[in-house]
Structures are given as C-alpha cells and as structure tokens.
Amino acid sequence: MAALTLDLSASAVDLTRQLLDIPSVSDDEGPLADAIEAAMRDVPHLHVTRVGDTVVARTDLGRDRRVVIAGHIDTVPINDNVPSRFETLGAVDYLWGRGAVDMKSGVAVQLLLAVQLAEPTLDVTWIWYDHEEVGEDQNGLRRLAAERPDLMQGDFAILGEPSNGHIEGGCNGNLRFEVRTRGVRAHSARSWVGHNAIHDAAQVLQVLQDYRAREVDVDGLVYREGLNAVGIVGGVAGNVIPDECRVHVNYRFAPSRTVAEAVEHVTELFEGFDVEVLDSAEGARPGLDAALAKEFVEAVGVEPRPKYGWTDVARFWSLGIPAVNYGPGDPLKAHADDERVELQQIVDVERGLRAWLTGTTA
C-alpha cells in the first residue's frame, strides 16, 4: 500500500477535508502520523521528532519565549460519516465528517501554519498526538510528558480542542466514583429476613437529587460544576433480595479544587456509605494572567470563556505551563453522527493564530 501524502499547499478548509478522508480511529492513527511526519520533515525550519504515533515539530529561532500548540489526530469510531462532504444548512456552509469538529479542523490549521510560518515572533513547538479518545494510559501526550518532557516545555500552550472559535481557559477537573450500599441476601418470597441494597440506593439518589452544583469564579472565569449519577448496578437474580448496589457518579469540579479536595467533598457528602474512587483528573486554572495569554487574547480579539469539560490543557498545567483551548467546531457536535464544522470558523481560527504568531492583526 502506497504511503499517504498531504497537500500542505491547500487551504485550511481543503486540508481539513484531506484529514477527514484519512481514517484515524484510536489505535489506527499510524498512517496519518506517517503522513504528517513525512510532510513536516520536508520543512527546513522545523526539527521533527516522533514518539510512537505522536509527531513533534519545533522551530529553533532563538526567541526568548516558546509556545506549544497541540492537537490530537485520532477520532472516535466512524459511523457512516466518511468520506467527507460539503453541505449548506440555512445560510451556513459546513464540512461534514468524522473528526470535523474533534479535532481535524484544528489540526489542519496547525499543520498549515507550521509549514507557512518560517519566522514566527515566538519559537513554536507543534505537537500532533495519538490516543486522546481512549484510556488515560494510552494517551500520546501523557506518554510524551513521561518520556520526553523536554519536548513539551514552553511558556504558554494552546490546545486545538473545539471551542466554536472562542478562547476557553483551563478546564474543570473530573472525578468518577461509586457509592455502594450493602444489604443481606434472601429469597424474595421471604424478603423480611434479608435487607434490600437497591432500596437503600434511594438515599444516594436523593442526595444527588437535592445537590445544588456550584458556579465558581476562578481567575475571572465562572466554571459550572456538576454531580450526576451516570449508572447503577445491582441485583443477583429474579428471586433474590440483592445484598449490594453500586451507583456510579461523575463529579465535574472547578479548577480551584484539587482532586484530593474533590474526593474529600464527595466522601463527606455520602457519609455512611462506601465511596470508591474509580478515576480522577486534575483541572487547570485559566492561566489568562500570563503575559503570553494576555497577548494571545488581544491578538485574537475574542472574550475568553471557561472550559467545562476536561481536556489535555490540564497536562500542561501540571507542568507549570498555562494553557487554553482554541479551535474551530461546536463541542456539541463532537462525536455526533452528523459531526460538522462551520467553514468560517476554520478560517477565523487560522486568522487568529496567524495574527498572534506574526504580530499582526486578526
């Protein structure tokens, strides 16, 4: 099979379409990573390193400040939404296809600018990484931070996650846990000799029903929290009183709170029940008070917003690097069967990044 090639002389819109038509579902990013690596190695002002299926391209111009601009190249599974196509809904032109929003349009903008901007005002590290859409242990950016943290160093970072072309600062933290109720098994014909753990789960659900999630101002951005049951498991057989029930809960907490503080909060909230943490991720504060962040906001000319979901900006924050999300695409269309991105947002994000990296006006 011939190696895939990318035409980086195309517009950002047309390059997005090229990327959409190269399937790269998680675990199958290799061919796209190969094409990106090959294209970047032909660019004289970039130094290219590959770690697994993550491609890093860096300028080395001796600038006194460096920005890291990153995007993931994998997608969730395809569901009859490849090949791509253009479509118009109302008066708005879209590009439709798996990954259009999350996040091949953002990657296309980055690839184009990486090639075209030989003399940016900052040194730039471009990172295109694998396995973002699957488990934490496979994440290419996590692996890069562990194996080559030097390649992630910078004074500021931008992640191309879909943000409707707005700047979204930081991200909420994420906590998944189980609340367990305990009972005593018995035959359902003689239920009074047992104790029904599923019935006790009503108390857990009532706590969640009564809970009022906070809105928290963190460095000028207001983050909305959420505490919700996302699953419930219980039962042994159709004629057995269950002795255990597990309520799966997801807590999205403002970045002013650490994971430890979030765990303490939910443990107190469900006092008297067994609480087991299944997964956790620290959030990231907005970081908009950093000098480069202020310059970026001014150059792009849009009002920053909070990021409610968790993103890999938190990895940069954990390294002491302030980071924001900035990319084309409506996050509500990420992973949808009708995933599509407005063409104008691709153009606007390219213009915004180009203006900032060249010291011009968007």
Helix (H, G, I), strand (E, B) or coil at 73: coil
> Quick check: 312 and 325 in contact, CB under 8 A?
no
Q: What is the CA radius of gyration of the chain?
A: 23
> Quick check: 81 and 74 in contact, CB under 8 A?
no
Helix (H, G, I), strand (E, B) or coil at 281: strand
Q: In the annotation, is 74 catalytic?
A: yes
Cα angle at 302 between 292 and 67, to 5 degrees? Answer: 25
> Which stretches of 167-320 are DSSP H helices?
197-210, 259-269, 291-300, 313-318
| Cα gap 349→326, rounded to integer Å | 8
Residue 305 tokens, joined: 């917003």
Catalytic residue, from 29, 37, 53, 74: name it: 74
Q: In the annotation, is 132 catalytic?
A: yes
For tokens 């997005």, name the residue.
16
Count of CB atoms situated within 10 Å of the CB of 239: 9
- Amino acid (1-letter code) at residue 92: V
Residue 109 tokens, joined: 């903008």
Residue 344 tokens, joined: 């104008």
Q: How far is CA 68 from CA 155, 156, 184, 199, 271, in A?
A: 8, 6, 56, 51, 43
| Cα gap 288→324, rounded to integer Å | 8
Catalytic residue, from 132, 168, 282, 312: name it: 132
| Cα gap 237→202, rounded to integer Å | 20
For every residue of 5-52, DSSP letters joined together read ---TTS-HHHHHHHHHTS--BTT--HHHHHHHHHHHHT-TT-EEEEET
- Element housing 85 (H / E): strand 85-89
Helix (H, G, I), strand (E, B) or coil at 142: helix
Q: What is the set of active-site residues? A: 74, 132
